[in-house]
């Protein structure tokens, strides 16, 4: 199965790519997709993975087929063949 991953803003700069096509054996939870993204683009690890808990950080907006994952099933959202996952950095200021 193939999943299309798109990077916006600083994620694009860090990865050096605007898109990535992931080959996965089966439908998997979003947290597994993040691990695969880091394997393919290691420079994203610090931005995407919490070093203490070894799980995806949630300091980003993630869209799966245009829907934010918090309205789906969060980190357990199942990603299937043909899905598009978009990583958007969230910038806070004050």
Specify the 3-state DSSP secondary structure of 42. Answer: helix
What CATH number does residue 85 fall under?
Answer: 3.10.20.30
Q: Give per-residue pLDDT as tens, 38-86.
A: 999 999 999 999 888 888 887 899 999 999 999 999 999 999 999 999 9
Tell whether 94 is covered by a domain. Answer: no
Place of tokens 């700069």: 13
Share of the chain above pLDDT 70, in %: 97
User: Model pTM?
Assistant: 0.91
Tell me whether residue 64 is in a domain.
Answer: yes
Side-chain-side CA neighbours of 73 within 13 Å: the count stands at: 8
Asked, for residue 72, whether it belongs to a domain, the answer is yes
């Amino acid at each position: 199965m193939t999943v299309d991953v798109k990077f916006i803003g600083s994620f694009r700069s860090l990865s050096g790519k605007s898109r990535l096509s992931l080959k996965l054996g089966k439908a998997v939870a979003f947290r597994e997709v993040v691990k695969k993204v880091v394997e393919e683009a290691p420079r994203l690890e610090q931005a995407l993975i919490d070093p203490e808990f070894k799980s995806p950080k949630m300091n980003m907006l993630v869209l799966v087929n245009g829907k934010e994952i918090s309205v789906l099933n969060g980190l357990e959202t199942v990603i299937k063949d043909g899905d598009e996952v978009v990583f958007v950095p969230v910038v806070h200021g004050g």
